[in-house]
């Protein structure tokens, strides 16, 4: 599978199928392999692009804080579309990947044909809760520093099943990609004008309210709650997840 060279940082990605593009971004400490149960169903009429973010999986893990950020992640996503030969795509992701998908829309609305926002939050309007989130992200970095990959054990399916070439990259990613610094993403929700689907597992309690908020704030957004599913809703209930996405794509001719 190919790697994309981003100023010396190799970004691993895979392309499956033919047709209009869907770019899927994984959550923090997961990899693009978390979408494997989606590939057969979604690639029948679409090109599916999956990838490993900086510091994750088979992508590079530079020892430089300046090589990790929300802006660089969004730029990587745009470069992946270029490499695969697409001007635009349905942009989707889970958890951190969902947040980055919303951030991509902020930066590149003309390249976003639709949004798939899965088990994530849209960030924070106020400084205090954003700082509390960032403290959690830094604590996660410390946990991985101290425990290594053992820190991922016992987590939801997308994390516990992930294979990473370099654990140090996850520490940098936690400190400089998982953290948030503005309210741009949450403030963008009422201005989204592309078809949007919000998906959340019924048992993913930390993100139920956030999913309601996004579905209410994004004009015309649809929301699907998957029964017997946690944070990795697409892995916990792949058939129901795939059906929800296919129905959404068909309804909006995406």
Q: Indicate which CATH number applies to the domain containing 34.
A: 3.40.50.1820
Task: Enter the tokens of residue 77.
Answer: 């996503």
pLDDT tops 80 at residue 107: yes
Mean pLDDT over residues 161-174, rounded? 93
pTM for this one? 0.97
Percent of the chain having pLDDT more than 90?
A: 93
Cα separation of 33 and 57, whole Å? 9
The pLDDT value given to residue 2: 83
The pLDDT value given to residue 154: 81
The total domain count for the chain is 1
Residue by residue, what is the 3-state secondary structure of the chain?
CCEEEECCEEEEEEEECCCCEEEEECCCCCCHHHHHHHHHHHCCCCEEEEECCCCCCCCCCCCCHHHCCHHHHHHHHHHHHHHHCCCCEEEEEECHHHHHHHHHHHHCHHHEEEEEEECCCCCCCCHHHHHHHHHHHHHHHHHHHHHHHHHHCCCCHHHHCCCCCCHHHHHHHHHHCCCCCCCHHHHHHHHCCCCEEEEEECCCHHHHHHHHHHHHHCCCCEEEEECCCCCCHHHHCHHHHHHHHHHHHHHCCC
pLDDT tops 90 at residue 184: yes
Say if residue 110 is exposed, middle or buried (CB neighbours under 10 Å; 0-12, 13-18, 19+). exposed
Mean pLDDT over residues 75-91, rounded? 98
Low-confidence winner among 26-35, 97-106, 155-164, 196-205 (lowest mean pLDDT): 155-164
* Average predicted confidence (pLDDT) for the chain: 96
The pLDDT value given to residue 160: 84
- Write out pLDDT tens, residues 35-51: 999 999 999 999 999 99
**Phi/psi of residue 10, each to 5°?**
-75, 130
Percent of the chain having pLDDT more than 70?
A: 100
Mean pLDDT over residues 9-34, rounded? 97
Spatial CB neighbours of 98, under 8 Å, sequence gap ≥ 6: 25, 27, 92, 116, 117, 118, 119, 120
Range of the domain at 110: 3-251
- Write out pLDDT tens, residues 121-156: 999 999 999 999 999 999 999 999 999 888 888 888
CB of 59 within 8 A of CB of 126?
A: no
The pLDDT value given to residue 155: 81
pLDDT tops 80 at residue 1: no
Task: Enter the tokens of residue 84.
Answer: 């695969």
Q: Which residues pair with 25 in a beta bridge?
A: 93
Better pLDDT: 159 or 49: 49
CB of 123 within 8 A of CB of 101?
A: no
Sheet hosting strand 47-51, strand order edge to edge: 3-6, 9-16, 47-51, 21-25, 89-94, 112-118, 196-201, 222-226
pLDDT bracket for residue 216 (50, 70, 90): very high
The pLDDT value given to residue 118: 98
Helix 127-147 × helix 167-176 angle, to 10°: 170
């Amino acid at each position: 599978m190919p790697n994309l060279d981003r100023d010396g940082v190799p970004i691993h990605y895979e392309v499956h199928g033919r047709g209009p593009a869907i770019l899927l971004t994984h959550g923090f400490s997961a990899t693009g392999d978390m979408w494997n149960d989606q590939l057969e169903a979604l690639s029948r009429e679409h090109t599916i692009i999956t990838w490993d973010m900086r510091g994750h999986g088979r992508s590079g893990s530079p020892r430089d804080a300046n090589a990790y950020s929300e802006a660089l992640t969004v730029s990587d996503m745009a470069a992946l579309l270029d490499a695969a030969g697409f001007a635009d795509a349905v942009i989707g992701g889970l958890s951190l990947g969902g947040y980055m998908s919303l951030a991509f829309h902020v930066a590149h609305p003309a390249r976003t044909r639709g949004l798939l926002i899965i088990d994530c939050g849209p960030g924070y309007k106020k400084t205090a809760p954003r700082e509390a989130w960032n403290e959690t992200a830094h604590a996660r970095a410390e946990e991985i520093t101290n425990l290594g990959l053992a820190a991922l054990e016992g987590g939801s399916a997308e994390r516990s099943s992930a294979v990473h070439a370099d654990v140090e990259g996850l520490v940098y990613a936690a400190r400089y990609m998982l953290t948030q610094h503005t309210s741009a993403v949450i403030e963008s929700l009422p201005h989204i004008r592309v078809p949007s689907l919000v998906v959340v597992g019924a048992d993913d309690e930390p993100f139920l309210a956030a999913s309601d908020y996004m579905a209410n704030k994004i004009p015309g957004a649809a929301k699907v709650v998957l029964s017997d599913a946690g944070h990795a809703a697409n892995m916990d209930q792949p058939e129901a997840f795939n059906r929800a996405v296919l129905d959404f794509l068909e309804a909006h001719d995406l």
